[in-house]
Structure 1
Amino acid sequence: MALEYKTVCEKCTTSLTMQSEACICSYECTFCETCSSEMEFICPNCKGELVKRPKRKNSA
């Protein structure tokens, strides 16, 4: 089962690519690095931990 790579931060709507610095919780809520830091790496939806989202290589 692959992660669903969301394309915008759920808080500030900044665009995210598969190479962007972003954080996710176990439910795949997705936030940019700045918003994640401001929220002290706690998901506002489930109160779970936000961790760095792994990056994918660009498709060739």
Structure 2
Amino acid sequence: MTLPSKHAGHGIHHPVYGVKMKEKADSVGQDCHLAIPGTSQTKYKSQNEFLMEKLLN
């Protein structure tokens, strides 16, 4: 999660972008989950588990 990004193509894939997007989503009541290994906490064990819950409910 270092800034500036070490690679020009990192852009929207940089972890800080995700953190900022989640902060904004939370501020407007939008559901947003991050999966940054060693940093974020989520109740989902995998991307598939997240998708299945969202698609089937």
TM-score bracket for this pair, using the shorter chain length: under 0.3
TM-score, normalising length from structure 2?
0.23
Greater fraction strand? 1
Which structure has the bigger radius of gyration?
2
Greater fraction helix? 2
TM-score, normalising length from structure 1?
0.22
